[in-house]
Amino acid sequence: MNDVIKVAMITGIVALINGPVFLGILNRKSKKNNEISELRGDVRRLFTLVDRIAEGLTFSLENDAVIFKAFRKNSINGESEMQEEKMRDYFSRCATDGFKGSKGDKQWPKK
């Protein structure tokens, strides 16, 4: 065999072997990047949910303070109406955020 033909055959074999390997590495890297961006979105969503729960707990503690103060004084003052308005705003925000269509294509919890 001629040296040129041997070089062409070796080059062709190396190219055939390296092509799928290279594509496989690129595919794996793109999957990894996709998973990382998906995890970032999940973490962002979890932080939002934890913030919402913390806000609800704060409101419930404020409600308890208002109720016990009213029991001690044996009278109802304007604080309970203000607290009720805060709670109504909180629940409407939670409901509005829950019904938004821009939450993404994922459903919680994952199945």
The predicted structure's pLDDT at residue 35: 80
The predicted structure's pLDDT at residue 101: 55
The predicted structure's pLDDT at residue 69: 86
Nearest C-alpha neighbor of 45 from the set 88, 86, 97: 97
Q: Cα dist. 54→2, 61, 93 in Å?
A: 78, 11, 14
What span, in angstroms and rounded, lies between the C-alpha atoms of 83 and 69? 13
What span, in angstroms and rounded, lies between the C-alpha atoms of 68 and 57? 17
Encode the chain (111 residues) as per-residue pLDDT tens digits. 678 788 788 777 777 677 777 777 767 777 777 788 888 888 888 888 888 888 888 888 888 888 888 888 887 777 888 888 888 898 888 888 777 655 554 544 443
> pTM of the full predicted structure?
0.53
